[in-house]
Homo-oligomer: A and B are copies of this chain.
Amino acid sequence: MKVVALAGGTGAARFLRGLVAHLPPAQLTVIGNTGDDAEFWGLHVSPDLDTVCYTLAGIIEERRGWGLRDETFHALEQIGRLGEPTWFSLGDRDLATHVVRTELLRAGATLTEVTATIVRALGVGSRLYPMSDDRVRTRVRTPDGWLGFQEFFAREKAQPAVVEVAYEGAGRARPAPGVAEAIDGAAAVVVCCSNPVTSIGPILAIPGIVEALVSTAAPVVAVSPIIGGAPVSGPAGKLMTARGLPVSALGIAEGYAPWLDVLVIDTRDATLAPELARRGVRAVVAETLMTDAAAEASLARAVLAAAGVA
């Protein structure tokens, strides 16, 4: 009954927490986006992996949806005093993760190995794989030029118009060890309610992943992050537009067309079900807004049912 989930950050992490309300954690394998990884002050930061890990470890700062609970920011203040840019907000405990990750990577460990070490140390019972051990960086072209994803998202607060999105390095990257095998051997594959362009897109851009999604015998179920004509949160709308996708559950289905079996859409989008069916995607209607733990678990149950594993 192994469930494999493709995941971005905050929204995905909440949904995954809902999943492990139904599944033994060991039956869940998460494939996390590393396209928005970045280096700050020489430290390797993996925001999406950490958000998933911290959420499943029960130590996430809930209100923000990233970083650690009861966090302090003393190192960051001092880094600013020393003249370095501090637009990427990292707390003191969070910094420990990046210091240790960077140390282990520099000593020759792969990101897969480092992530497993952190996950285990924080008591998370599920597997968390980075999509790749190779460097992939999502870049966003604005009218003023290219930005790294975190420059666009964290520094510029996703304000600039988006002309183009690229996944630098993805074409030469290989799926991390275990990723293609996990998809292949899954009872169900879930694509979390993450931004399809900058959270799921980088994962799909790695040669071998789409092939695995096409060939797996498991049902592939996605959860739409769009309700009506707008994303639940974040800049997914303008990024989908830049990719030529309509900002709606139909756009999600279009982006995932080659391999999507089931799309879980919000109750407010129920009328799209016939159109989705015409495109070969079975729609399952659920309440997709995760306002609390009960809503997370309820959505997760609907997704497992849609995949035929609950």
Contacts and interface: CB of A to CB of B under 8 A. Distances in A.
Interface in A99-119: 99-100, 102-103, 106-107, 117-118
Interface in A53-91: 68, 71-72, 74-79, 81-84, 91
- Give the oligomeric copy count: 2
A95 B83 contact: no
Contacts of A75: 75, 92-93, 95-96, 99
Contacts of A118: 82
Nearest to A101: B82
Contacts of A96: 74-79, 81-82
A79 B92 contact: no
Contacts of A122: 81-82
A72 B96 CA distance: 13
B79 A100 contact: yes
A142 interface: no
Tell me if A's interface is mostly helix, strand, loop or mixed. helix
A50 to B, nearest CB: 12
Contacts of A106: 42
A75 B97 CA distance: 9
A75 B94 CA distance: 7
Nearest to A94: B78
Interface in A107-152: 107, 117-118, 121-122
Nearest to A68: B78
Contacts of A93: 74-75, 77-78
Nearest to A98: B99
Contacts of A84: 100, 103
A78 B107 CA distance: 20
Nearest to A91: B74
A41 B42 CA distance: 13
Given A82-B118, A96-B82, A118-B82, A42 B103 contact: yes
A242 interface: no
A43 interface: yes
Given A72-B72, A82-B121, A122-B81, A95 B95 contact: yes
Nearest to A84: B100
Contacts of A81: 96, 121-122
A56 to B, nearest CB: 15
A92 B72 contact: yes
Contact of A83 (B41, B72, B117): B117
24 contacts: A41-B99, A41-B103, A42-B99, A42-B102, A42-B107, A71-B74, A72-B74, A72-B92, A74-B74, A74-B92, A75-B99, A76-B96, A77-B96, A78-B97, A79-B96, A81-B96, A81-B121, A81-B122, A82-B97, A82-B100, A83-B100, A83-B117, A92-B92, A95-B99
Q: 10 closest Cβ contacts across the A-B interface?
A: A78-B96, A42-B103, A74-B92, A78-B93, A92-B92, A79-B96, A75-B96, A75-B92, A82-B100, A41-B103
